[in-house]
Amino acid sequence: MENILEVNDLHVSFDTFSGEVKAVRGVNLELRRGETLAIVGESGSGKSVTTKALMGLIPQPPGRIKQGEILLEGRDLTKLSEKELGKIRGRDMSMIFQDPMTSLNPTMKVGNQIMEGLIKHQKMARSEAKKRAIELLDMVGIPKPTERVDQYPHQFSGGMRQRVVIAIALACNPKLLIADEPTTALDVTIQAQILELMKDIQKRTETSIIFITHDLGVVANVADRVAVMYAGKIVEVGTVDDIFYNPKHPYTWGLLGSMPTLDNAEEELFAIPGSPPDLLNPPKGDAFAARNEYAMKIDEEQEPPMFKVSDTHYAATWLLHEHAPKIEPPEAVKKRMAGFAEASANGGGQR
């Protein structure tokens, strides 16, 4: 299948009073047409910085793309001016941000906010743009769209506001949609509705989606492939089944083991010890070594390459070297993996 997006050796830094923060350190990823790629990791792992770099939204200064390529349908976005990027944003790629409260202009009717992109990028007349805005509100599940198109954001609930944000992002039929933790500010019930909405819209529009989240439960339900980020790097990438049934990186084990389950309230959660490294001075070897109980001497001296597990699955850990000791995931992680497999076999929503 054809790639719509390719990111090659992306480095993003921020210049601060304390020095250079290397927030993204050599990210490589690809996205196929109609595919959903989830990027997961702790806060500060570089997920949002990576996607803002894709959109050309890194504030300069203090931020800068030091090196790398961002190829959208073969066109390198890092070489474009702000004016050229402005023509692409909204038309070819759009972004859904975390908080619908701050994503919408409180002084503008929601219909006008949807119409802006249609008028700018598709040169629609206002009457035609308003008709399309009503269609979009209906598509994202807003009741009585002909009435609500003339209402203001404060007249909508949090879940409805996020639906409006999605309508704005989809207005010009973008080829790439980036969703940066779009359900974080919503309660669990509304969260599920928004995720179902995004899956349904993707089926209808064949939009490619990058979904940023720290919640692996969300990933299991929406993604085709998963990239696990740590300290500004992708440390494991594979299909959802690869990551949930056969994880290889100790950091991925930690993320899976720390997921709560509903079937055993007394079960103790697995916790990753320590904290992420200071990216003002990234460690010499494997950035996860200090928190990794299975770390070897080489982890402190040399950064691991991406080892191939299968045609779809790669992980950057020295544990995959042919001479490394054979280490099994912790019991807490094995239980999660068994739970995913059982839920999947029973036709459950979560793997």
Q: What is the per-residue DSSP string for 35-81?
A: -EEEEE--TTSSHHHHHHHHHT---TTTEEEEEEEEEETTEEGGGS-
d(CA 257, CA 231): 19
Question: Is position 235 within any domain?
Answer: no
pTM for the full predicted model: 0.88
d(CA 176, CA 170): 10
d(CA 161, CA 151): 11
Is the Cβ–Cβ distance between 237 and 228 less than 8 Å? yes
d(CA 99, CA 159): 10
Four-point Cα dihedral 124, 57, 198, 223, nearest 10: 140
Which long-range contacts (C-beta less than 8 Å, at least 24 apart) are formed by 273-281? 276/42, 276/44, 276/45, 276/230, 276/231, 277/231, 279/21, 279/22, 279/23, 279/25, 279/231, 279/232, 280/16, 280/18, 280/19, 280/20, 280/21, 280/22
Q: Which of 173, 202, 221 is the last residue of a domain?
A: 173
pLDDT(320) > 80: yes
pLDDT(205) > 60: yes
pLDDT(101) > 80: no
Q: Indicate if 340 and 250 belong to the same structural domain.
A: yes
Give the full edge-to-edge strand order of the sheet including 176-180: 93-96, 176-180, 208-213, 36-40, 225-230, 233-239, 313-315, 307-310
pLDDT(15) > 50: yes
**Span 212-256, pLDDT tens digits:** 987 777 788 788 999 999 999 999 999 999 999 899 999 999 888
Q: Which of 111, 138, 173 is the last residue of a domain?
A: 173
Q: Indicate if 256 and 168 belong to the same structural domain.
A: no
Express as a percent the part of the chain with pLDDT over 70: 93
Is the Cβ–Cβ distance between 142 and 126 less than 8 Å? no
* Domain boundaries, position 251: 246-345
pLDDT(192) > 90: no
Question: Is position 52 within any domain?
Answer: no
Question: Is position 206 within any domain?
Answer: no
Residue 128 tokens read as 């035609």
Residue 196 tokens read as 């179902």
**29 beta partners:** 7
Question: Is position 120 within any domain?
Answer: yes
Altogether, the residues listed in the chain come to a count of: 351
Question: Is position 208 within any domain?
Answer: no
Q: Which of 154, 173, 192 is the last residue of a domain?
A: 173
Is the Cβ–Cβ distance between 186 and 13 less than 8 Å? no
Is the Cβ–Cβ distance between 110 and 147 less than 8 Å? no
Question: Is position 192 within any domain?
Answer: no
Question: Is position 317 within any domain?
Answer: yes
pLDDT(207) > 90: no
- Using only the alpha carbons of the chain, give its radius of gyration: 21
Q: So what's the pLDDT on residue 67?
A: 93
Mean pLDDT of the chain: 87
pLDDT(343) > 80: no
pLDDT(28) > 90: yes
Cis bond before residue 100 (omega within 30° of 0): no
Question: Is position 27 within any domain?
Answer: no
| Predicted confidence band of residue 180 (pLDDT cuts 50, 70, 90) | confident
- Look up residue 323 and give its DSSP letter: T
**Number of compact structural domains in the chain:** 2
